Amino acid sequence: MAREAKAKPAARGGRGRKRQRRPSRWQRARRWLGRGALGVVGLVAALVLLWAVVNPPTTPYMFAEGRRLGGVAQQWVPMERIAPVMARAVVAAEDANFCTHWGFDLAAIRATLDAGSRRGASTIDQQVVKNVYLWQGRSWLRKALEAGLTPLVDLVWSKRRILEVYLNVAEFGEGVFGVEAAARHWFGTAAADLTPVQAARLAAILPDPKHRSPASPTDALRRRAARILDGAATIAADGRAACFQAS
């Protein structure tokens, strides 16, 4: 009778096991891209939390303008050192429903689309996200990032903090950033001492700060400032300034 063949024991070191396939270059690239994306998301989330309590030292646009011009004027001031009428004027000019939306003003967006207006309906929240975290321009990538970050900032930051950051990083003239530098540059005064008319004129130049002068306003700018002043009084009276006014 033929001897039964004995089963050979598996060799040490796992030579009897099936070899694992090494990941392809594409798989390795996807893995690294995924890790990189998670890292970027984590960094942005950390900056959202950080800038909620720490003042941003600069912004991408401010940095670029500083390189182009050889420096910019900007001095951070807390909301307590900004004339309350200045805060109301900016809200009246740029985002009248600032206190009632969650980052996007859907009613304003619909009204803009229905009117066929070329000017967007960006809220103050969106402008803060663009100024602090992103870059200028109208690319789809920037708009997509802005759309993703805006609700997060609105969730983490208070409305008062959002407006405070906006007032300190907004451009009020070539190389002039923030309301304190703007008040001193255009009117020779501090942000805390701005009059209602001065505040309204500063708010009126925000759509085109490089080509408008609040100190030497045109008739059109005077009319716009007058409308802003009326709007600021209205939002103070109807409670739409409650989210950023000192209690």
pLDDT in tens, 97-118: 999 999 988 877 777 666 665 5
Burial of 73 (0-12, 13-18, 19+ CB in 10 A): middle
C-alpha to C-alpha distance for 66 and 191, rounded to whole angstroms = 22
Q: How far apart are the first and last CA of the chain?
A: 102
pLDDT at 55: 96
Average pLDDT, the chain: 87
Is the per-residue pLDDT at 41 higher than 70?
no
| Distance set, CA 149 to CA 38, 134, 154, 169, 184 (Å) | 15, 10, 9, 18, 32
Contact 56, 177 (CB under 8 A): no
Burial of 91 (0-12, 13-18, 19+ CB in 10 A): buried
Return the domain boundaries, the chain.
69-237
Q: What's the whole-number mean pLDDT along residues 194-203?
A: 98
The 10s digit of each residue's pLDDT in 113-144 is 666 655 556 899 999 999 999 988 888 888 89
Q: What architecture is domain 69-237?
A: Orthogonal Bundle (1.10)
The one-letter code for the residue type at 180 is E
Burial of 14 (0-12, 13-18, 19+ CB in 10 A): exposed
Mean pLDDT comparison of 7-21, 43-57, 147-161, highest-scoring range: 147-161
Least confident of 7-16, 52-61, 165-174, 193-202: 7-16
* 30 or 240: which leads in pLDDT: 240
